[in-house]
Homo-oligomer: A and B are copies of this chain.
């Protein structure tokens, strides 16, 4: 910690070997105790906490000042470091061997009574924490999260520096495109009635950098997405965005592995073993029912369709007779009572299954299950074999069309299998995503932006619903940390992809004309990735929500309880921008104000 005349050393830096030194500390009153006229203060600053002893006899300040000291007063103390009296050392505090005997004290700033205690470990309402974020930041949790976020970004930069990546800033006031219905807009004052958009990602600009010959680019890019808030999204968020020319997928994954190793080492002091596991999208869906599998545990989905080919159990037979499938997971020794099993059945139904069959392997090898009576000896043996089941294991089986079975079992797997309070980290690359998602009505929606290279452009044209793209995700403990792809660098392939995606030539020109023009000038093959910084740090810190990692986040309605944004603005400011608030919105305001008695 850099020093100043106002503060010669950090409170948390004092150790036994500093005994005898005269130092000046500055920080906040974390705790104050009076013992027989002597005042003990835990002084906290960014470096930690140390005990300060204020003995009025040694007159560090007037009695008025001493007795006025309250929690979170910002104070400066000059004194002598000394060993704590025999038997009073605090082993839990890095500074616990010493204390500061104060001979001078200045109150730099008093504090008003606090809306919540800084020290307490009790939970405080998140709304209050956000309203007083600056006080929340003095607490161990947020202070640690801010440090971790800064350290993680530093670790990412080290990897980028080692790889000779240029840090390039792409613009944040960009063109809005017709497909950008979720673009956030910025009205222009110099061209009233015209708008910039805030970027959802630097995608096209980083591709321009590749065309421009930059070859290795990175940026910690602020991105914006004005979508309905999901539990763990923010309208503004930060990505580590990088791209390389003359690259394929392998080069991107190699850089990602370095980033994972460096960031985990920095935040947790752990070695991640390389290579990181890789799984195809198809395998992930098949085995784990999701494209972001949590690999901290196995519990793979097992296909039982062949096993039940001749079953007497009508529900399974019916499904199998109509192109459906029967699959299940071995939930292990769940030890659930009947009510717990019923809740799993309900959960499966909520998730879209018609039902859930549970079976519990008994000590004698038989199966306890509502459907046991329909199962033959051969089937029972085969089931136990397929699940590698031991006595006590709970088997969960769903029969339906494949898409439903996969999705339901994937989520039940998390419900019964996902470890709580686990320190384990399971990174995995998910590869070979399909080009299209197949909708329930059989129609196709592009799974990625239209600049993603298909694995085979002819295959894409002939079998679009099964065609694979050169795209990949990085997943940690069941959460997607980011995604990337090899990009199209050939204007003709780009045109074909637009065609397959039902984007007409004229449409493509009006939306991306300037980019298609750029592609014509010797575009190098290139590939890249973007990692959600806050998501990654939150998981590594064991935080349930990215709001815990973001210094000043918005709530789920996009509001900032601290500053009150978003708000209304003056008429004449809007006038200059050539815009107006629509009359019906104003009427809504007036009514709301009336209702509020205003």
B582 pairs with A214, CB closer than 8 A: no
Contact of A246 among B4, B112, B247 (CB under 8 A): B4
Q: Which among B133, B146, B208, B224 is the interface contact of A166 at CB below 8 angstroms?
A: B146
Known: A6-B247, A522-B109. A212 touches B134 (CB 8 A): yes
Does chain B have a CB within 8 A of A375? no
**A579 close to B578 (CB less than 8 A):** no
CB distance from A106 to the nearest CB of B (A): 11
Pair B520/A195 contact, Cβ less than 8 Å: no
| Inter-subunit contact B185/A186 (CB<8 Å) | yes
> For A238, what are the chain B residues with a Cβ–Cβ distance below 8 Å?
169
Residues of A1-35 at the interface with B, using a CB-CB cut-off of 8 Å, are 1-2, 4-7, 26-29
With known contacts A147-B166, A174-B563, A212-B138, A525–B196 Cβ distance under 8 A:
no
A596 at interface (Cβ–Cβ under 8 A)?
no
- 14 interchain pairs (CB within 8 A)? A2-B164, A2-B244, A6-B248, A112-B521, A132-B521, A133-B212, A134-B211, A134-B212, A135-B212, A137-B212, A137-B213, A137-B214, A191-B557, A205-B551
Q: Residues 433-448 of chain A: 1 if any B CB is under 8 Å from the residue's CB, otherwise 0?
A: 0000000000000000
Contacts of A192 in B (CB 8 A): 582, 585
| A300 proximal to B (CB < 8 A) | no
Nearest B residue (CB) for A577: B185
A421 to chain B, nearest CB (A): 28
> Would A524 and B26 count as touching, CB distance under 8 A?
yes
**Contact call A45/B213, Cβ cutoff below 8 A:** yes
Check A171 against B560 for contact (C-beta < 8 Å).
Answer: yes
Contact A524 B4 (CB under 8 A): no
> Which B residue's beta carbon lies closest to that of A168?
B551
Q: Do the beta carbons of B523 and A109 come within 8 Å of each other?
A: yes
Chain B residues near A423 (CB-CB < 8 A) = none
Interface status of A535 (Cβ within 8 A of chain B) = no
Contact yes or no, B72 A521, CB < 8 A: yes
Does A303 touch B at the CB level, under 8 Å?
no
**A572 to chain B: closest residue by CB:** B181
CA distance A552 to B171 in the complex (A): 6
Residues of B within 8 A of A559 (CB): 191
Binds B, one of A149-157, A269-277, A323-331, A401-409: A149-157
Given contacts A1-B216, A168-B551, 5 further A-B contacts (CB under 8 A): A170-B551, A171-B554, A191-B559, A208-B562, A514-B564
The interface bits of chain A over 558-577 (1 if a CB of B lies within 8 angstroms of the residue's CB, else 0) are 11101111111110011101
Are B153 and A522 touching (Cβ within 8 A)? no
Q: Is the CB of B514 within 8 A of A28?
A: no
Contact A184 B181 (CB under 8 A): no
Q: Is residue A127 within 8 Å, beta carbon to beta carbon, of the partner chain? A: no
Q: A170-B552, A569-B176 are contacts. A582–B523 as well, Cβ < 8 Å?
A: no
| With A168-B150, A184-B186 as contacts: A522 and B579 at CB distance below 8 Å | no
* In the bound complex, CA of A164 to CA of B205 (Å): 33
B564 with A251: CB separation less than 8 A = no
B188, A186: Cβ atoms under 8 Å? no
Within A139-175, the residues touching B (CB, 8 Å) are 142-143, 146-147, 149-150, 153-154, 157, 161, 163-164, 166-175
Query: B-contacting residues of A (Cβ < 8 Å)?
Result: 1-2, 4-7, 26-29, 44-46, 72-74, 76, 108-112, 114, 132-138, 142-143, 146-147, 149-150, 153-154, 157, 161, 163-164, 166-176, 178, 181, 183-198, 205, 208-209, 211-216, 222, 224, 226, 228-229, 235-236, 238, 244-248, 250-251, 489-490, 514, 518, 520-525, 550-554, 557-560, 562-570, 573-575, 577-582, 585-586, 588-589
Known contacts A28-B213, A579-B580: does B185 contact A187 (CB below 8 Å)? Answer: yes
Selected from B114, B175, B247, the residue in CB contact (under 8 A) with A565 is B175
Residue from A4, A166, A189, A565 having most chain B Cβ neighbours under 10 A: A565
Query: Bound state CA distance, A76 and B490, in angstroms?
Result: 15
Q: How far is the CB of A107 from chain B (nearest CB, A)?
A: 9
- Tell me, in angstroms, the Cα distance from A360 to B214 when the chains sit together: 55
Asked whether, in the complex, the Cβ of B566 is within 8 Å of the Cβ of A196, the reply is yes
Bound together, the chains give a CA A588 to CA B161 distance in angstroms of 51
**In the complex, what's the smallest C-beta–C-beta distance from A543 to chain B, in angstroms?**
16
Q: How far is A594 from B574 in the complex, measured between Cα atoms in Å?
A: 26
B188 x A4 contact (CB < 8 A):
no
- Chain B, residue nearest A4 (CB): B251
Shortest Cβ distance from residue A390 to the other chain B in the assembled complex, whole angstroms: 47
Q: How far is the CB of A487 from chain B (nearest CB, A)?
A: 12
Tell me if B525 and A175 are in contact (CB < 8 A). no
Bound-complex Cα distance A147 to B522 (A): 21
Contact of A248 among B4, B27, B109, B197 (CB under 8 A): B4
Known A197-B565, A514-B562; judge A137-B209 contact (CB<8 A). Answer: yes
The reply to whether B522 and A235 contact each other, CB–CB distance below 8 Å, is no
Question: Shortest CB–CB separation between residue A30 and chain B, in angstroms?
Answer: 10
Which of A46, A111, A136, A149 has the most B CB atoms < 10 Å from its CB?
Answer: A46
> In the complex the two chains form, what is the Cα distance from A149 to B26 in whole Å?
37
Q: How far is the CA of A489 from the CA of B108 in the complex (A)?
A: 9
How long is the Cα–Cα vector from A212 to B147 in the complex, in angstroms? 13
Tell me, in angstroms, the Cα distance from A177 to B52 when the chains sit together.
42
Closest Cβ of chain B to A171, distance in Å, is: 5
A170 to B194 Cα, complex, angstroms: 27
